[in-house]
Amino acid sequence: MVAEVTFSPIAYIQSCYPERFGIPRQAGLVASAYADIVFEATEENKLALRGIEEFSHVWVIFVFHGQSYGDFKPLVRPPRLGGNKSVGVYATRSPNRPNAIGMSAVKLFGVIEKKRTLRLQVQGGDFLDGTPVIDIKPYVPYADAIESAQAAWAVEQSSLLSVSWSDEAEAVLIDCVEPGAKKLRCLIEETLAQDPRPGYERGKDGREGQRWHMQVSNYSVFWTVEKGVAKVIKLAWVER
Return the residues of window 115-144 that contact a copy of itself according to CB under 8 A. 130, 132, 134-144
Dist. CA 178–CA 172, nearest whole Å: 12
Instruction: For the CB of residue 59, give the shortest distance to a copy of itself in the complex, in Å.
Output: 7
User: Least CB distance from residue 69 to a copy of itself, whole Å?
Assistant: 10
Nearer to a copy of itself, 130 or 203 (CB): 130
Among 27, 169, 172, 214, binds a copy of itself (CB under 8 A): 27
CA 22/CA 195 separation, integer angstroms: 8
Residue whose CB is less far from a copy of itself, 154 or 233? 154
Query: Which of residues 61, 173, 186, 229 is near a copy of itself by CB under 8 A?
Result: 61
Residue among 148, 167, 208, 240 that touches a copy of itself (CB under 8 A) = 148
Contact 24, 159 (CB under 8 A): no
For a copy of itself, the binding residue among 66, 74, 110, 228 (CB under 8 A) is 74
Does position 50 bind a copy of itself by CB under 8 A?
yes
Q: Residue 60 or residue 232: which is nearer to a copy of itself going by CB?
A: 60
What residues contact 38, with CB distance under 8 A and at least 6 apart? 11, 12, 13, 14, 117, 118, 119
Q: Residues 186, 171: contact at Cβ < 8 Å?
A: no
Report the distance separating Cα 231 and Cα 211, nearest Å.
Answer: 10
Distances (CA, A) of 114 to 40, 41, 136, 178: 10, 8, 20, 18
Residue 150 near a copy of itself by CB under 8 A: yes
Size of the site for a copy of itself (CB under 8 A): 77
* Separation CA 240–CA 230 (nearest Å): 25
Judged by CB under 8 A, the stretch of 24-32, 170-178, 206-214, 219-227 that binds a copy of itself is 24-32
**68 binds a copy of itself per the rule CB under 8 A:** no
Element (H, E) at 37: strand 34-40
